Structures are given as C-alpha cells and as structure tokens.
C-alpha cells in the first residue's frame, strides 16, 4: 500500500472524525483519564508489602530501667505499635485475638544476665502471614542488634551477620517503589486493550464499520484512524500516572524520560493492536470485554512479574510469562525507574515490543480484511 496525497488526506479526515467522536464519548474519556488516576491512587496506597504500625505485645517480666532500655527502640517507631503487659498470659491473649502480631518477652532475670552478657529476649511471631512475620522478625532483630552495639560497640556483632542498611535500586526499601511501575503497566494494558476492544466492537454492532468499508478508504487507514485518538488518550493517562508516581509516591526516575516515553509508545501500539484484533474477531462488546480480560488484563497481572518474580516460579510458568509483551514492558520501566539506563536491556525489549506491535496490527488488519471479504 503506497502512501500518496489522497491516502494521507483520507487518513487525516478519518482521524478528525474519530477525535470528534471521542470528544462526544464521555465514557471513553473517563476510562482514559480518570480511571488511571483512580487505580494508581487506590492500588498505590493499598498494595504494600511494607510493615508499619505492627502491633507487638511486649511482656515486661523485668521492669527495671535496664530492661526498658532494651526495648526502647519500639517506642516512637513507624514500624511498631507496642502494647506493654506484665505477663505472658496477657501477651498470648493479645496474639490470639489478633491484637498483636508478635510477642517480645523480656524475662525476669534479664538485667542480672545482662551484666554477664548472657541476657536474651524471646520473640514469638504470628505465623499465619509468613511475609509479615518474616519482615517483623527482621525489624525486631535489627533493633536488638542496635541495642547490643550501643552497649558493647563492635564486640556485639561478633559472630552475627551485619545489618544491610541500603537496598540496591530501592534506597527507601519501599514496596511502593516496586509496585508503582507495575501499576502503570496494568493501567496502560487496561486502557489500551479494553478501551479499543470495546469501542471498536460497539462500531461493529452498530454497523458503522461496514458503512465505512463502502467508502474509498482502505482498511489500514481505518485501523490507523481508530488507533490514533485512543493512543493520545492513553498517553494522557500515562503522563497523569507519571506525575502521581513522582509527586504522590516519590518514586525516582533514574533513567531517561525519553526512553520511558518510547517504551510506553511501543507498548501502547501493542495493546491497541490486541484490542483491534479482539474486536475484529468478536464484533460484540460483551464478548470483547470477556476476551480482553482473559488475554489482556489477567496475564498482565499474574504472569508478567508484577505479583510474582518470574525467577521464582516453575520453568513452564516463566516460559509463558516471557512470551507475553507486558513482561518486557514491565522489566523495562522498572529498570528505568529504579536502576537507570541499561542500554542492552532497553534495546532488546524495545525491539521485542516493536515486533509485537507490528504483529498484532497485521493480525487486526488480516482479520478485518477477512470480514470485509
């Protein structure tokens, strides 16, 4: 298909029509602009692996000033909400009632044994939630180790693994930094696949697509004209999410903004192509919604590495995940946000996304042509 002045004129006319149609379609505008902000606010604040204000029952069987000093690190900490009791029975009751996630026991002979460097604290964790239990254990052990160091200096750490004070590529050690790039991937998937599939399927149901086919315009021109307005709408959603990630969550962008924009453009071409293909096959809004959920949103959520590290899953699950386009976009934007410009990874993943974008556009073109014939 050659691109001449008449073809360009038809394409521009179609694009103008689509933008006018989009302006009158308030539901699409809301999905493209308001929904991304709602999702990133709810999920960004709601999904977190960080442990804060953890209720801890502190059993003070030794009430001496020395014993109180040993657990002072719990007071005023953002990580703990201590409840001081004087018997283990009280602490156990709090744990069973889920008013405490851990019990820290200061034994009655703590001060006496501390003078001989034989003192110990007992920690009991509520193990139903292993992630919270493991994190709480690490926090409390770090606090006790800091207390040891304040008493004995460097001798306190003899034979103990030193604490890691800095986490590479996530200096704040915040799971929000880890989740927000993934949320942006999910939102771009939702807007790109769902919006395009639903709007195009609606056109099939109303018969407006068939009406356009009797005009001199080519199928490729129709598809490009359909994609462009929703591409622009999705990019508006992307920039809103980018602003929220920076100013609401403080997520740093270590890499290049231009590379991030390029990656997003390529990924949106993929998602829009998937949406066009779904609508061309189903021609039904209801069925398009179901298929978009099945082949678009759920794989992006479950198999892209957003919820589960693909290095820690069975080989066949990892293989499936690495077939999916969201995996490469997620890997790319996480690297750009938290690590910086890894040019080898940027080049590889951008080429893969460009290939997927071309593949799905050709698939949509082929399926639409089949329907015309």
- Which domains, from first to last, does the chain contain? 5-48+174-372 (no CATH), 54-157 (3.40.1710.10)
| pLDDT tens readout for residues 68-89 | 888 888 887 778 889 999 888 8
Q: Are strands 80-85 and 102-106 parallel, antiparallel or unpaired?
A: unpaired
pLDDT at 160 over 50: no
CA–CA gap between residue 155 and residue 152 (Å, rounded): 6
Ramachandran angles phi, psi of 4, nearest 5°: -115, 180
Among 8-17, 118-127, 153-162, whose mean pLDDT is lowest? 153-162
pTM beyond 0.85: the answer is: no
pLDDT at 27 over 60: yes
CA–CA gap between residue 34 and residue 213 (Å, rounded): 33
| pLDDT tens readout for residues 130-149 | 566 777 788 888 888 887 77
Ramachandran angles phi, psi of 158, nearest 5°: -65, 125
Instruction: Provide mean pLDDT across the span 354-360.
Output: 95
pLDDT band at 202; cut points 50, 70, 90: confident
Q: Hey, what are 114's tokens?
A: 């501390």
């Amino acid at each position: 298909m050659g691109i001449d002045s008449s073809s360009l004129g038809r394409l521009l006319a179609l694009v103008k029509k689509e933008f006018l149609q989009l302006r009158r379609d308030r539901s699409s505008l809301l999905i493209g602009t308001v929904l991304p902000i709602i999702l990133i606010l709810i999920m960004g604040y709601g999904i977190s692996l960080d442990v804060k204000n953890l209720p801890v029952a502190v059993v003070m069987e030794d009430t001496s000033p020395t014993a109180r000093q040993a657990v002072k690190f719990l007071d005023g900490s953002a990580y703990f909400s201590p409840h001081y009791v004087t018997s283990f029975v009280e602490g156990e009751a709090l744990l069973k009632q889920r008013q405490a996630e851990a019990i820290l026991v200061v034994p009655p002979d703590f001060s006496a044994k501390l003078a001989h460097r034989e003192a110990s604290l007992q920690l009991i964790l509520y193990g139903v939630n292993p992630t919270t239990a493991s994190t709480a254990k690490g926090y409390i052990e770090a606090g006790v180790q800091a207390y040891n160091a304040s008493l004995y200096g460097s001798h306190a750490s003899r034979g103990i693994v030193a604490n890691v004070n800095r986490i590479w590529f996530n200096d704040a050690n915040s799971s929000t930094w880890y989740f927000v790039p993934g949320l942006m991937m999910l939102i771009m998937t939702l807007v790109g696949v769902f919006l395009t599939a639903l709007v195009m399927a609606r056109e099939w149901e109303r018969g407006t697509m068939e009406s356009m086919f009797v005009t001199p315009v080519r199928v490729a021109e129709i598809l490009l004209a359909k994609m462009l307005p929703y591409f622009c709408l999705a990019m508006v959603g992307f920039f809103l999410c980018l602003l929220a990630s920076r100013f609401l969550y403080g997520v740093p962008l270590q890499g290049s903004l231009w590379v991030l924009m390029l990656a997003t453009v390529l990924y949106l071409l993929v998602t829009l192509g998937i949406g066009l293909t779904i609508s061309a096959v189903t021609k039904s809004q209801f069925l398009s919604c179901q298929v978009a959920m099945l082949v678009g949103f759920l794989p992006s959520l479950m198999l892209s590495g957003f919820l589960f590290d693909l290095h820690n899953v069975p080989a066949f699950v990892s293989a499936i995940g690495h077939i999916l386009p969201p995996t490469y976009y997620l890997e790319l934007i996480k690297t750009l946000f938290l690590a910086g410009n890894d040019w080898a990874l940027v080049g590889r993943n951008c080429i893969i996304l460009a290939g997927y974008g071309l593949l799905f556009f050709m698939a949509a073109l082929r399926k639409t042509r089949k329907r015309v014939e």
